[in-house]
Chains A and B, each alone.
Chain A
Amino acid sequence: MGRVTLRLGGGLLTWLIVLLALLPVFWTILSSFKSLRDIVSPIPVLVFQPTLENYRTVLTTPAVRDGLVNSIIVVGSALLIGVVLGVPAAYALARFVRRLKGDIQFFVLSLRFMPPVAVALPFIALWLDLGLYDTLIAVIVTYCIVTISTIIWLGVPAFEQVPRAIEEAAALEGYGPFAVFWKVALPVAAPSLVGAVLFTFVITWNELLIALALTSRNVTLPVVAAGFTTLGMEVPWGVINASSVVLALPPLILVGLIMRFIDRYFSRPAR
């Protein structure tokens, strides 16, 4: 009977956790539609006249619009470079590198150990000396450390899952290694690779420190949003909530897709 109690109690507790876990997000979204008067009320206001004013303010602020454009350019370019250089490299690692495979994988992973601030400081100096400080190119190149290494790291297992036999069958048909990669391995591994790309997208889209360090005017969206809190004396909470939502929207739209890749990655029998 203990099992039944645990089940009922567990069910209730789970829902409670879900509720508590989502309350902050829900509250922020709700508040982003409130006027300042409803927000600062000491008693929580659940029924209110919704307003789009906060979003209008956020989206008409030039800094936000520039930040959005910069974010899209920076993340898009770094991601593209990461995919173009990382995916074939991951395939080669998965298939044709033997002795050095472990070392290369460890090197790629060890880039993840590097404290971002330790990356940011020397690059500030470098870009200043090259006259590229505060340019998008500087941020893009620096972000490539993250995108290439993450895509290689997650891409190797994606390619290792491709059954070797179908590649060998294609090779017997007279396909060279490039054709095998392009026409066989890539399409088969694609679903898992999309997961790797999504993950990399979320990491770079959310990145703050390096962008903050390498730019002063050409900033990305996280930098803009983080900057809102330091504006003046009166904290514009409605605008902050709205900008949190706008910033969080791209990763959140992908939540269903990302869940599918978590399933794919972890629902295989554990080794």
Chain B
Amino acid sequence: MATIEIRDIGKNYGDVRVLDGLNLDIGDGEFIVLLGPSGCGKSTMLRMIAGLEDVDSGTIAIGSKVVNNLAPGDRRVAMVFQSYALYPHMTVFDNIAFGLRRLRVPKLEITRRVDEVAKLLAIDGLLARKPAQLSGGQQQRVAMARAMIKTPSVFLFDEPLSNLDAKLRDHLRVEIKRLHGMLGTTTIFVTHDQLEAMALADRIVVMNGGRIEQQGTPQEIYHAPQTLFVARFVGNPTINLLDGRVGTDGRIEYMSGSLDVGAARLDGLAPGSPLTIGIRARDLKLPGRLPEAAVAGRIDAKVELVELLGDEAQLDLLVGDKSLVVLVDGRTPPAIGSTLSLEVDRNALHLFDPESGRAIHKTGQKLHQAA
């Protein structure tokens, strides 16, 4: 069990600064997900914690002990790789036992512990096989067994599910969550998949361009994105963004109308200053679905396309020359070509400063709690 403190770590590849003075504290037993697009530095950070990459500046401490100069094997961390990274020439048993053998653990104990871990991951029937004879899902279980058997203080997962098909991915995700609940080991999980992040994390750390954009619980990240980047990166379908301006009396003007968000929300902003309005696809409602008090305004839009997704239908709408995406009940979707007057939920509006990309929050409205 261990806490992790990361202080001002930086990393360069040649002239490229991949990590730019990053700080992060991770509590004992916490499940942290590093989320971000490829190239944001999340994997590099994970590999630096593992000791697979040198730290150019700053310190990394595991269990309050600085590990910058410790070999990977001496950090009490275990890692699960995207490519599984099994030793292809060894049987499953030997793969799992490899680390214990290097530590000269007695044979009998190795056998006992391998059996134990294998049972836990339901791979006890596969111990004599070689990795090439296993399916992707089985291989990843073996990789997890190999990591678990070392009883590490920290688990590191580097996009462990992205090589698997969707069904297996869901399945193993649940499994990882279950194992974490059981073992309570501090875990850092890297992914670019926001669904995975939402489902697994105690806390999500969104990274972009070698910096941390925002960290918080999945709810905070989803419902209170602090930057445009986070708002756009998290959420499916992607959040709708409209350009607008600060009007008078707590109103925001956008191209074809205005939204009443309340004066408090716009406090301190000069009328006429530009804004970016973010509205998630589920927060635009068909007429009559919101209590009148919650309606900030209405947007008239024409239905261009209807995609049935099952329970829901995704509508592609046009407002002037701007397209919006809205999710509505899939049983009675509006017809293509019809015009809708969509109601905007005041409490679900996200406002950003287009210049800095930062969210505009006012006290009292900072965190909208999910209904």
Contact = CB atoms under 8 A, between A and B. Distances in A.
Contact between chain A and chain B defined by CB under 8 Å = yes
Interface of A: 1-3
A233 to B, nearest CB: 59
Q: 4 closest A-B pairs (Cβ-Cβ)?
A: A1-B69, A3-B71, A2-B71, A1-B71
A2 B73 CA distance: 12
A1 B67 CA distance: 12
4 contacts: A1-B69, A1-B71, A2-B71, A3-B71
Interface of B: 69, 71
Interface of B, secondary structure class, is loop
Contacts of B69: 1
Interface of A, secondary structure class, is helix
Contacts of A1: 69, 71
A163 to B, nearest CB: 24
A2 B69 CA distance: 11
B144 to A, nearest CB: 25
Contacts of A2: 71
A3 B71 CA distance: 9
Nearest to A1: B69
Contacts of B71: 1-3
A2 B71 CA distance: 9
A1 B69 CA distance: 7
Nearest to A3: B71
A137 B69 CA distance: 69
A86 to B, nearest CB: 35
Contacts of A3: 71
Nearest to B70: A1
A3 B51 CA distance: 12
A89 to B, nearest CB: 34
B85 to A, nearest CB: 15
Nearest to B72: A3
B88 to A, nearest CB: 11
A3 B54 CA distance: 12
A2 B72 CA distance: 12
A2 to B, nearest CB: 7
A178 B69 CA distance: 63
A4 to B, nearest CB: 9
